[in-house]
Amino acid sequence: MKTQHEINQISTMIRRARSAQHITQQQLADKCGIAKSRIAKAENDIGNLPVSILRAIVEKGLGGQLQITFSF
């Protein structure tokens, strides 16, 4: 389970990456093929965002690579 701090870090990373590319939430949404409201949610409250949407934002929209790791 993600802590609130981890959730905030992910949201901040998305917002900063978008800002660094000088694109609006709407432009990012268009690149991803998803609704602008999903971008806003990702930047503000990523807690219940499906991994598929997160992957679209990071990879299609921002040109990054989503990596998920597990530690036991």
Q: How many domains does the chain have?
A: 1
- Pull the structure tokens for residue 41: 């949610």
Q: Report whether 36 contacts 29 (CB < 8 A).
A: yes
Let me know if residue 9 belongs to a domain: yes
Tokens 């790791």 correspond to 69
Taking every pair of C-alpha atoms in the chain, what is the biggest distance, in angstroms?
Answer: 39
- CATH code for the domain of 37: 1.10.260.40
Q: What is the pTM of this model?
A: 0.84
Give pLDDT tens digits for 10-63.
899 999 999 999 999 999 999 999 999 999 989 987 767 889 999 999 999 999
Q: Report whether 27 contacts 21 (CB < 8 A).
A: no
Distance CA 34, CA 18 (A): 15
